[in-house]
Amino acid sequence: MFKFFENLVDPFAPFPSETPSDSLWIYLKSHYRPFYKWMFVLAVTGMVVALIETALIFYSGRIIDLLADNTPQTLMADYGFELLGVAALIMVLRPGAALLHHLLLDQMLAGNLQEQVRWRAHKHLLGQSSGFFQNEFAGRLSNRVMQLGGAVEDSTYLVFEGVWFGLTYVIGAAVILAAVNPILAVPLLVWVVIYAIYVTIMAKRVGVASEKWSDARSMVTARVVDAYANIETIKLFADEGTEERYVLSAMRRLRLRFQRFLRLMTELGFALYLINGALFLFMLGPAIWLWSRGLVSVGEVAAATALTIRLNGMSGWISWIIIELFEHVGVIREGLQSVSVPHDVVDVPDAPSLEVNAARIEIRNVVHHYGKGHGGLNGINLTIEPGQKVGLVGRSGAGKSSLVNLLLRFRDPETGQILIDGQDIGKVTQTSLRRSIGMVSQDSSLLHRSIRGNILYGRSGAKDANMIAAAKRAEAHEFILDLQDVDGRRGYNAQVGERGVKLSGGQRQRISIARVILKDAPILVLDEATSALDSEVEAAIQDTLFGLMEGKTVIAIAHRLSTIAQLDRIVVMDQGRIVEDGSHNELLAGGGVYATLWARQSGGFLG
C-alpha cells in the first residue's frame, strides 16, 4: 500500500530543460504540475477530516442535551441506532479518511516533492559554466540546493495540513454556530478577520527576516566548507587566527539576524494570547446570554465552548504554520538567487551531436575578453591539421588556457568561430563535443569516490580489464594495488577522499591520465600534464603520453619546454595573440620569443 502511494509521482522523471523562474509562484507551479491531480484529492480528504472533527465537537453538545432530557432506558430505546451510527463514523469513516489523507500527504507529496526540487536544482546547476562556479562558494550552493527542497516540500505540506485544515474547520464551526443561533457566528467571523489581518502583516515581516537569516546561514556554511576544503593551506601558513575571524564575522551576522527573527516570534506569541483571549470572552458571553433567554440549550453552549477552546489551541498552531510558511518563502527566495540564474553556455535548439572523423581544428578570428574589453584573446587564427601535435607556449596570462577553455566550450567566444571537422562547436551539443576531447590538466583533483569510479568516469560501462590496462599504461597500477582506506577497502575499491587528498599529487595525476587513456577521445589536450610528477615517473609517463598521442590531434600546454620540443609544431602566444608558429628548430633559428624563453630556462622551466 505504501509503495503504491510513494510511486504515484516520479520525482526524477524527465522535465523541460529551462531556467527556473525567479518568480516564487511560477517556480512553485512548475514543481506542482506532476502533483496536480493528487493535490485535488488531497484537498478533498483534508476537508472531510476537518469537517468530521468539527461535527464531533458539535455532536458532543447534542449528547449532553440527550443525557439531560432522557433516562438511560429511553436514551437507548429512542437514540440507540443514532449513537451506533456515530460510533461507526468515529471508528470507520474518521480513521479511513485520515489514513487516505496522510498516505497522499506523506507518501505521495512529502516523499517526492523535496527530492524533485533538489534534483532539478542540482541538474540545472550542473549545466552552468565553469565561470559560474568560480564566482560562487561550493558550500553555499550545496546549502541552497538542500534547503530549497526542504522549504518547498514543507511549505506545501503545511498548506494542506495546517492552513487548509484550519480554514475548513473555521468555516464548519461558523456554519454550525450560525445554525444554532446567528448571533454566535458573529464574534467568530470578527475574530477571523482580525486574526487573518494581523498574521498576514506579521508573516510578511517574518518572510523578510527569514530571507536575511537564510542568506547569513548559507554564508556561514560556505566559509566553513571553504576552510575544511583548504585546511592544508590554513595549516601551512599557520594563520588559524585570520581564518577564525573570517568565519566568526559570518557567525556574528548569522546570530544578529536570528535574534531579529526571534524578536518577531516573541511579539507574535504575546499578540496571539490577547486575540485568543478576546475570542473566548466574546464567544462565551453571548452563548450564556442566549441560554439565559432560553434560546439555546446547555448542550449547545457546551458545544460552542468546546469549539472556542479548540479554536484557541488551533489559532496558535495555525499562526505558527503561517509564520513558518513565510519563513520557507524567505528560504526559497534566497535559494532562487542561485538556482534561477540562466546558463551562460547553452546548446542551440535541436543541436546535433559532433561527428569527428579526422579531428581537424580550425580557429577563426576568435576574440574573448571575459566581458572586460581587454585581456583574454585578441583575434586568434589557428588551424591544426588532423593528427598534428601542437604545443602552446607563452608566459602566464598569454591566453593559452583561455584558448583551451573556448575549445572545450566552457565559455563562448565574444566573436569568431571554432570548428572541428568543419562543424561549428557552438552549434553542436556540449556533451558530444567534450566526449570527443580528452584532457589532462594541471589540476589533478579527483572525485570523492573509489579509484575504480574515478578511472571509469572516462568511459562508463568499460570492463575492469580495460580499466586496469589504462592504469598500467599510466604507471598507476602498482601503487593502486597497495592502497587501503580507513574502512579497509583495498586497491581499486579504495576511496580517494575529497578532491583526492589521500593521494600524492603524482598519484592523482597518474589516475587522471589513466582516465583519459580509457576515454580514448580523438582530440587530446594536455595542460601541464606532467607538472605534478617527479623526474623518474615523468620519464616513464612521457613515453605513455607520446603513445597516447598516436592517431590523435593534440594540443599540449607546458612551461617545461623540453616536454613539447619533440612535437610537430609549436605555437607561441603573448598578450592574447599568436606571435610565432613553427617547429622547435625553426623557432630557435628565428631568434624570437621562443628562442628567448628557451635560452632563459633553468632546469627545463621558464625563467
pLDDT digits 0-9 by tens, 47-71: 888 888 787 777 777 777 777 777 7
Instruction: Please give the pLDDT value at position 439.
Output: 87
Q: Which part of the chain is CATH 3.40.50.300?
A: 348-436+521-607, 447-519
What pairs with residue 556 in β-bridges? 391, 526
Q: 202 burial class (0-12, 13-18, 19+ CB within 10 angstroms)?
A: buried
Residue 304: per-residue pLDDT: 77
pLDDT of residue 533: 60
Higher-pLDDT residue of 489, 308: 489
CA distances from 230 to 245, 283, 421, 531 (A): 16, 64, 42, 21
How many angstroms separate the first and last alpha carbons of the chain?
Answer: 72
| pLDDT for 243 beyond 80 | no
Longest dimension (CA), the chain: 122
User: Identity (one letter) of the amino acid at 341?
Assistant: V
d(CA 508, CA 451): 10
Residue 574's SS3 state is strand
Out of 213-217, 274-278, 311-315, 452-456, least confident range: 311-315
DSSP strand pairing (523-527 vs 437-440): parallel
- What pLDDT is stored for residue 607 in this prediction? 41
**How many Å apart are CA 396 and CA 573, to the nearest integer?**
10
What's the grid cell of residue 133?
562556479
**Range with the largest mean pLDDT of 124-133, 135-144, 333-342, 348-357:** 348-357
CATH top-level class for 348-436+521-607? alpha beta
- The C-alpha cell 563535443 sits at 433
Instruction: Give the C-alpha separation, 376 to 402, whole Å.
Output: 7
pLDDT value at residue 571: 93
Q: What is the mean pLDDT of residues 573-599?
A: 88
Task: Report the percent of the chain where pLDDT is more than 90.
Answer: 20
How does DSSP assign 20-74, residue by residue? Answer: PPSSHHHHHHHHHGGGHHHHHHHHHHHHHHHHHHHHHHHHHHHHHHHHHH--HHH
Q: Please tell me the predicted confidence (pLDDT) of residue 535.
A: 66
* CA atoms lying within 13 Å on the CB side of residue 274: 8
Instruction: Note the pLDDT of residue 82.
Output: 78
Joined together, the cell numbers standing for residue 83 give 449513537
Delimiting residues of CATH 1.20.1560.10 domain(s) in the chain: 15-339
Contact 559, 572 (CB under 8 A): no
The residues with which 380 forms a beta bridge, in sequence order, are 366
- Cell triple for residue 447? 572525485
Confidence of residue 170 (pLDDT cuts 50, 70, 90): confident
Confidence (pLDDT) at 602: 45
**150-169 pLDDT, tens digit each:** 899 998 998 888 888 888 88
- Decide: helix, strand or coil at residue 294: coil
Predicted local confidence at residue 499, as pLDDT: 67
Q: Give pLDDT tens digits for 267-319.
A: 877 887 777 777 777 777 787 888 787 787 877 777 777 777 777 777 767 77
Q: What is the pLDDT of residue 237?
A: 66
Question: What gap in Å lies between CA 131 and CA 484, rounded to an integer?
Answer: 36
Q: Residue 125: is its pLDDT beyond 60?
A: yes
CA distance 217 to 525: 40
Convert the pLDDT of each residue in 100-109 to its tens digit. Answer: 888 998 989 9
Whether residue 528 is predicted with pLDDT greater than 70 in this model: the reply is yes
pLDDT of residue 382: 92
Residue 606 pLDDT level (bands cut at 50, 70, 90): very low
Please give the model's pTM, rounded to 2 decimal places: 0.75
Tell me the pLDDT tens digit for each residue of 380-415.
999 999 999 999 988 888 888 889 989 999 888 989
How far does CA 129 lie from the centroid of its chain?
16
User: To the nearest whole percent, how much of the chain has pLDDT over 70?
Assistant: 94
**How confident is the model at residue 601, as a pLDDT?**
66
pLDDT at 399: 87
Residue with cell 599529487: 505
The rounded mean pLDDT for the chain is: 83
447-519, CATH topology level: Rossmann fold (3.40.50)
Which of the listed ranges 40-49, 81-90, 589-598 does the model predict with the highest average pLDDT?
40-49
Does the pLDDT of residue 449 top 90, yes or no? no
Q: What is the mean pLDDT of residues 493-505?
A: 78
Calpha distance 534→211 (Å, rounded) = 51
Mean pLDDT of 358-377: 85
B/e letters for 457-492, b = 16+ CB within 10 Å, e = fewer, are: ebbeebeeebbbbbbebbbbbebbeebeeeeeeeeb
pLDDT attached to residue 232? 65
Q: What confidence score (pLDDT) does residue 235 get?
A: 67
By C-alpha distance, which of 122, 117, 113 is closest to 156?
A: 113
Q: Is the pLDDT of residue 204 over 80?
A: no
Q: In what order do the strands lie in the sheet with 389-393?
A: 437-440, 523-527, 553-557, 389-393, 569-574, 577-582
Per DSSP, what are the bridge partners of residue 382?
A: 363
Q: What is the pLDDT of residues 126-139, one digit of tens each?
A: 888 777 887 777 77
Long-range Cβ contacts of 422-425 (<8 Å, 24+ apart)? 422/360, 422/362, 423/354, 423/355, 425/354
Count of CB atoms situated within 10 Å of the CB of 267: 12
CA gyration radius for the chain?
A: 35
CB 174 within 8 A of CB 189: yes
Confidence band for 364, pLDDT divided at 50, 70 and 90:
very high
CA angle 494, 499, 501 (to 5 degrees): 65
- Grid cell of 264 as nine digits: 518577531
Residue 215, pLDDT score: 82
339: amino acid identity, one letter = V
CATH, range 15-339: 1.20.1560.10
Q: What is the DSSP letter of 474?
A: T
Burial class (CB in 10 A: 0-12, 13-18, 19+), 558: buried
Cell numbers that stand for 308 in this block: 472556542
